[in-house]
Amino acid sequence: MTDSSSDCTYEEEYVFYKNRPHWKDVTPVPQDDGPNPVVAIAYTEQFREIYDYFRAILRSGEKSERVLELTNDAAQLNPANYTVWQYRREVLSHLKSNLSDELNYIGETISEHPKNYQVWHHRRVIVEWLKDPSKEMEFTNVILAQDSKNYHAWQHRQWVVATFKLYDLELEFVNDLLLKDVRNNSAWNQRYFVIIHTSGFTPNVIKNELEYTAGKIREVVNNESAWNYLRGIICHTESGNITSEEFIMKFCEDLYGTGCRCPYLLALIVDICEELFELGASDEIFSMQRALQVCDDLALEHDKIRKEYWKFISRRINQALLHRTTAA
């Protein structure tokens, strides 16, 4: 339990529970840190009191409007406290509270704490109870406009899309995000999520996605997200082999011909060379000798941070060539 009471905007107006007439019947339950706590947390008086009263309520099991107010105060001080949110849901259910109001409340809380798992989980439960996702797409739009890579917002959005089958406009949404920031890995992930749950990677979809992704790579060649997505598409080809798609081989060679030497391109060229060798296919352009040269280029100039890795790949290629020669 952390003390974040310094963030509490209502601190100056706060009235201690011990001074509230309608709480006189409750005896606070102090936190038990044992007889000799190693490092006692310096809670503020306000924080300590609220959680002392909350422990008392947990012990008595009371579910009322005043307890709802108490969980609000406790959540404002520590929005990551699972027990507070769980008990709040129990109170909401018991009182048959207006869930639309609760949705508005948790929306405001998320806006203040957009990277807190517990507040997002609470919203998900409320949407489940309401069986109404009508506000969720716009809500996540707002949060993602502030931080387009917010993991919790994306997780919530994927749950909403999958649960309520709201796939229709999602690719359009993803396209807009990639137009704004082609490096947005979360948007690439969402693109994959939508396709795998709708059309699937059929031959036509694979063709379109390869062309789309190649276009995005040409815009920013050092964009690891797009290269990873390209490799993900390859996994869904009939053979799962890079060399089964002539488009990829031509794309790589054309890009190389422009003078591009980004590590992701060079790594893919090495993989193509090795794959063709393993399949027993000879290719003048994508040969094992070229793979060795590209590994040297990566180790010495274009990917020095992984120098030892590329040396290892070179040794593996040489061993493969030696084994082939010996076997012949």
* Residue 312: partners with Cβ closer than 8 Å, 6 or more residues away: none
What is the model's pLDDT at position 328?
A: 61
What is the model's pLDDT at position 241?
A: 92
Find the mean pLDDT for residues 152-163.
98
27-31, 40-44, 103-107, 119-123: which range is least confident on average? 40-44
Residues 91, 64 contacting (CB under 8 angstroms)? yes
Give dist(CA 171, CA 191) in Å, integer. Answer: 6
75-84, 188-197, 274-283: which range is least confident on average? 274-283
Report the percent of the chain where pLDDT is more than 70: 95
13-17, 46-50, 204-208: which range is least confident on average? 13-17
Q: What is the pLDDT of residues 75-92, one digit of tens each?
A: 999 999 999 999 999 999
Give dist(CA 89, CA 122) in Å, integer. Answer: 8
Measure the CA angle with vertex 173, ends 170 and 177; round to 5°: 140
DSSP 115: T
pLDDT band at 109 (very low <50, low <70, confident <90, very high): very high
Find the mean pLDDT for residues 260-273.
97
What is the model's pLDDT at position 327?
A: 73
Name the H helices within 165-262. 170-180, 185-196, 203-219, 224-234, 246-257
Catalytic residues: 115
Burial class, 227, CB count within 10 angstroms (exposed 0-12 / middle 13-18 / buried 19+): buried
Residue type, 186: S
Report the percent of the chain where pLDDT is more than 90: 87
Residues 43, 23 contacting (CB under 8 angstroms)? no
What is the model's pLDDT at position 199?
A: 96
Collapse the DSSP code of 157 into the 3-class scheme (helix H, G, I; strand E, B; otherwise coil) and give the result.
Answer: helix
Give dist(CA 125, CA 312) in Å, integer. Answer: 50
Other CB atoms within 10 A of residue 319 CB? 10
What is the model's pLDDT at position 4?
A: 44
Q: What is the pLDDT of residues 94-107, one digit of tens each?
A: 999 999 999 999 99
- Chain mean pLDDT for the chain: 93
Residue with tokens 């890579």: 149
How is the chain split into domains, by residue range? 167-240, 245-327
Find the mean pLDDT for residues 140-166.
97
Residues 18, 49 contacting (CB under 8 angstroms)? yes
pLDDT band at 283 (very low <50, low <70, confident <90, very high): confident
Tokens of 135: 């506000």
Find the mean pLDDT for residues 113-136.
98
41-45, 81-85, 170-174, 248-252: which range is least confident on average? 41-45
pLDDT band at 287 (very low <50, low <70, confident <90, very high): very high
Find the mean pLDDT for residues 119-125.
98
Tokens of 254: 């054309």
Give dist(CA 154, CA 189) in Å, integer. Answer: 10
Other CB atoms within 10 A of residue 154 CB? 19
